[in-house]
Chains A and B, each alone.
Chain A
């Protein structure tokens, strides 16, 4: 891991390096919350209960924003899943005093739980408000703790966590591919949300690979990025709803 972490600026510019990214087809998203629950299950995201949820203390790593357009009877609602955008120029990263969040060479905005001391500065700096804080000790009444994914740590109270693009799955696939001496194939890595999404609104892949499904979709004329004008260079690309690609 240390090798993966210590990367010079020159190495970073290596063209062959992956940039993991996600394409979210808003035309397919039905707002069904499968990704939300899948994420809770995969990443041991705690549940906070009604009282704390009402105080905006809930901890979803991915949320489906619902926006109304128009008034009754010509009213429409649109869904937009929002998760960590894994910005290339992430505003959350430089503000952390202890380097608890940084950019991996593969384009992930990584959060080092063990390093975090809970200044919540990254959360304030994030324009997408996707960083969630452990407001309380996580509570898993017995035997619910047996549902926990052993590949993902359970976070302590007082630290920030957020979507990791299921880095544990990425690593597993990469290690397995390395072990058998082959390249990671497109679509082989599927974060829990992508895996579960019934209408396949979420597509994950290497944006630097022009052949990958994600990068092909990212070139669609429906493509846009959330708050692109801020210049954060997100790795999550949305495809506008209500239109075709052609």
Chain B
């Protein structure tokens, strides 16, 4: 236990644990034991806590799970974990409802009525493995094997990558909507472009004095929201006094924007233009205490503040005020991300924002931008990348043209998550054998021949190299906290069994008996490491401490100063963002945004998350569309009116929320609802905003430009009272008329 752990958190953990040491390592194999003959660590009625990792989003927060009588009862943040410091978000808390979800698959099934029939017949695991092995053996060309995974646990990715490499198949495509809406691929590309790093940059929010966030909803879903919220709390009210200022640039006031001191409602796609204008003013007026800006003057050579002011509809004076606010402080910080990356000009816009950090000399400084220190072991050095849209479109194309014979899908639900225009479902129909590893029957699993359900994360093993990390290298360890509820099997174990069945080079490349063996071996790579927060004499002891702590991390903060080796050399320019749909026919910009509770829809089967109100609209259990009061008035629509939202590609219906915090030319729809499959809590409610997205032409770069669609709104004449926590008669105001 490091010094960072305050006495109280230690006591708290210790109080719940049966043994003297805080956390108990989960034993590798637990025989099914009846309650009256409890396993030796179990005392009836007494809680045991197990440390593991949250897998509700890719952030990798450490959790501790309260287990009583062999059943997980409560998930809390791991107080020792340097990423989330014992805190946990709503989605993390709801993990129990993934584990105990009544709509989980209880065993491996074959869709006996054919794909999409939803008629499943259970099959024994041996048969499933036989079939899979036979299919792989009969594969004429290993290139005909394709895998799509959604941010898998890093251990699974490593095993999967080795497996695919050794059988000669193309690497897995990694996609999920949650990280797509974060702009994770864009952020990674920015990092590698500027700093030559494949890891995401770290923004030291806690110590910044002025934070300008361009589109990143960093307190909701973006990257590592718990860590960012912890930092935000410190920025706001550090115990030493002093209060950071936070300005959010986005067309729709998000919950993050609501927490900001100022919300600048910029027109969609102009965030980068504003960043450039701010930089130009700073450089031109030589603002701030960071020295002369002449080094960077050339970047802003072609920037006209007046043009920018016009483009973003703000007076020049306002831009000057913002530039002064940003520059005339010791520790400003600019953060690009989120819906900024959903525009066609995202690359240039991200550059423009990052340039603000550079001209203010914020790289590697307290309250500035850092790059993470990699974990000092080979096994953990290359965490899973995120694929961009080109790779996905390529995969779809190969599927459509019949090049793919076996398609494996794990942890992703592309039929639901990908825009309808991608045509994933149609392409999937061309694949002869589709195997899903989803624990739930989701939209994609319904199109599979076999479903070989994985454990949920509370029943399975794994680890996650935290990225974007905190101030130090972290591996969040994942271990089973309870017996598997059903006859499910870890996908990593399936791959390992496949390898041994295939034999030869494959078996040699993947020699582990099971995933736990792989993990134990991996952990040994960090044994005797000098920066480790704990150490043990033997690798076995180290592995035990690993599980007890819930992973591995450095005992002290290691921050690396990024070198802006790849920053733009010449004058920067941000082109106007392109939008799909004629402005006359489709007068509104559509902003899909990641739901705080349901995220990209994976939370929709968890009733706690469905029932937790959206912080801004307080709506629950459904989809809505947010419209500026003025626009609503001109369309003669009121709260709860059903409207048809039509884009050039598709249309959907949703109830209206008249929303004071959105531009009059923009409407916003949260993701997450509109499931056709995915269990009783998720289905029959709302609509999927992804159905509306209109493809960007290829010449605009194959980006996932999710903010580039224009729509029109028509009243359909029905009223659908949304389950809002707030009473509409109160008009959302605290003071009464």
Contacts and interface: CB of A to CB of B under 8 A. Distances in A.
Interface of A: 25, 27-34, 36-38, 40-42, 47-51, 53-54, 56, 58, 60, 63-69, 71-73, 75-79, 141-144, 146-150, 172-173, 176, 185-188, 190, 192, 195-201, 239, 242-246
Name, among A50, A58, A187, the residue most crowded by chain B CB atoms within 10 Å (CB to CB): A50
A37 B258 contact: no
A56 to B, nearest CB: 8
Contacts of B724: 54
A58 B620 contact: yes
Contacts of B508: none
B516 interface: no
Given A37-B91, A50-B621, A187-B8, 9 more contacts: A27-B236, A30-B232, A34-B88, A40-B612, A72-B661, A79-B259, A141-B102, A147-B97, A244-B241
Contacts of A75: 253, 263, 660-661
B238 to A, nearest CB: 9
A72 B621 contact: no
B35 to A, nearest CB: 13
Nearest to B615: A31
Contacts of B292: none
Interface of B: 6-8, 11-12, 15, 45, 68-69, 71-77, 84, 86-94, 96-97, 99-102, 219-220, 225-226, 229-230, 232-233, 236-237, 241-243, 253, 255-256, 258-259, 261, 263, 265, 485, 596-597, 607-613, 615-616, 618, 620-622, 628-630, 660-664, 680, 685, 721-727, 731-734
A40 B610 CA distance: 12
Contacts of A41: 74-75, 93-94, 96, 608
Contacts of B256: 30
A193 to B, nearest CB: 10
Nearest to B73: A149
Contacts of A146: 71-72, 100
B620 A76 contact: no
B233 A33 contact: no
Contacts of B45: 150
A147 B616 CA distance: 28
B480 to A, nearest CB: 15
A148 B241 CA distance: 41
Contacts of A186: 8
A60 B725 contact: yes
B615 A32 contact: yes
Nearest to B264: A73
Contacts of B99: 147
Contact of B232 (A68, A187, A199): A199
B68 A196 contact: no
8 contacts: A37-B93, A40-B612, A53-B611, A53-B725, A60-B613, A75-B253, A144-B607, A196-B89
Contacts of A243: 243
Contacts of A77: 253, 258, 616, 661
B229 A198 contact: yes
A67 B237 contact: no
Contact of A32 (B74, B219, B263, B726): B219
B225 A79 contact: no
Contact of B660 (A72, A188, A200): A72
A201 B258 contact: no
A196 B12 contact: no
B616 to A, nearest CB: 6
Nearest to A185: B8
A174 to B, nearest CB: 11
